[in-house]
Amino acid sequence: MAEWNNSQLRKYNIKLGKIPVLQHDDPKLDSYLCNNKPVLIKGSQLISSALNWDIDYLQKHMSSICCNVMISSNHRFKYYDQKKITPTLTFKPLSRPSPMTFSEFADKMKKWKKGDPRLYMQQALNNSIGHHIVRDFVMFNWDWVISKQKICKWGPLTSNLLLISQEGNITPCHYDEQQNMFAVVRGHKRFILFPPSQFECLYPHPVHHPYDRQSQVDFDNPDYIKFPKFKDACGYEVVVGPKDVLYIPIYWFHHVESLMSSSYTVSINFWFKTGPIEKIEYPLQDYQKMTIMRNVEKMLGEALHDPNEVGSILRTIVVGRYTSDEN
Ligand code: SIN
Ligand code: FE
């Protein structure tokens, strides 16, 4: 399979460091995972049994399965929560869901030409996906990933998404509320990660907005007047290739690009809930503060019966009181 090179990485005006790379049996690995530090893991064999998952193989074994496919008029696939779209909101997403069978998706991918809408499939792997795929799935290296889940006291595995993306597609910067072991099967994905402490530089949408958890900043064309602190954003990057697993800690922002080393990428994520908190220790960690912020926003929205009032009431609390020099 073709390799990637630096010229394929999109250029952004962001300071970038590197994500550490460790072998699966490196004694230092568990301390990264248990302390919410991202790391690229080599040699875990997590998805070895899926390395033959190309479009032809999947078409053969998943042909009539109905899949979640997103269609976008540009290269950005900014996720939104349909349930948060209200009648009063003028919300015009650039990508839209277009469910279709795997066969239809595969045909569209094969016939795709420049100028056509772009495609990105994101389908949960469950037991309706056909017995060949289920057979490969049960042969994942569950022992390894479950041992990490236990060591880090994560909660249950909630889902595995199968992601098939055209080269050049981008998942814009956002955070998730789960721990993510992200495995690449085919092609290469470039990730840029930011810790939760950079919340103020990345300006996520309010929680009640359909784009909840997504940064408002367009990395291709940042609006520094609206988002001045984006200049201070400082990320960590890594290119994840076949057999690699990237640990994306809960609440870490991530921006993802499928590189041109192949015409499409195939990847599988493993989402785990966080475990119950056994003992709260102060000072709180940044991700715990993120939970508090989300809950305050949600609570105010509900109490006020109008999410549009949340911003002004928060400003009233802060301005002139928590912002004066006396503090
Ligand atoms: C992607 O791979 O495009 C997105 C993965 C994620 O956001 O977890
Ligand atoms: Fe994500």
Domain layout of the chain by residue ranges: 6-272, 286-318
Beta strand pairing call for 39-42 and 66-67:
unpaired
Please name the helix (run of DSSP H) or strand (run of DSSP E) that holds residue 279, with its range, or none: none
- pLDDT for res 88: 83
Tens digit of pLDDT for each residue in 108-165? 999 999 999 999 999 999 888 889 999 999 999 999 999 999 999 999 999 999 999 9
Does residue 256 line the site of ligand 1, with CB under 6 A? yes
Whether ligand 1 lies within 6 angstroms of the CB of 269 is answered as yes
Instruction: Specify the pLDDT at position 1.
Output: 59
Distance from the CA of 175 to the center of ligand 2, in angstroms?
6
Stretch 233-238: mean pLDDT: 98
pLDDT the model gives residue 128: 86
Specify the pLDDT at position 13: 95
Nearest ligand 1 atom to the CA of 182 is: 8
pLDDT in tens, 259-318: 988 899 999 999 999 988 888 999 999 999 999 999 999 999 999 999 999 999 999 999
> Which superfamily is assigned to 6-272 in CATH?
Jelly Rolls (2.60.120.10)
**Predicted confidence band of residue 87 (pLDDT cuts 50, 70, 90):** confident
Task: Find out if CATH 3.30.200.20 is the number for domain 286-318.
Answer: no
pLDDT for 90 beyond 80: yes
Q: How far is the CA of 252 from the centre of ligand 1 (A)?
A: 12
Angle between helix 55-62 and 131-138 (nearest 10): 120
Average pLDDT value for residue range 34-53: 98
pLDDT at 325: 73
Rounded to the nearest angstrom, the distance between the alpha carbon of 313 and the centre of ligand 1 is 34
Write the pLDDT tens digit of every residue in 167-211. 999 999 999 999 999 999 999 999 999 999 999 999 999 999 999
* Model pLDDT, residue 327: 56
List all residues 6 or more positions away from 296 whose beta carbon is below 8 Å from its beta carbon. none
Q: Residue 267 CA: which ligand 1 atom is closest?
A: 2
pLDDT at position 326 is 63
The pLDDT, as a whole number, for residue 127 is 82
Task: Determine what percent of the chain is predicted with pLDDT higher than 70.
Answer: 99
Cis before 99? omega within 30: no
The mean pLDDT value of the chain amounts to 96
| Average pLDDT rounded to a whole number, residues 238-265 | 97
Q: Is 163 in the pocket of ligand 1 (CB under 6 A)?
A: yes
Q: What is the pTM of this model?
A: 0.96
Tokens matching residue 62? 């998943």
Residue partners of 287: CB distance under 8 A and separation at least 6: 36, 196, 249, 250, 251
- pLDDT at position 278: 82
Note the pLDDT of residue 302. 96
pLDDT at 246: 99
CA atoms within 13 Å, Cβ hemisphere of 245 = 27
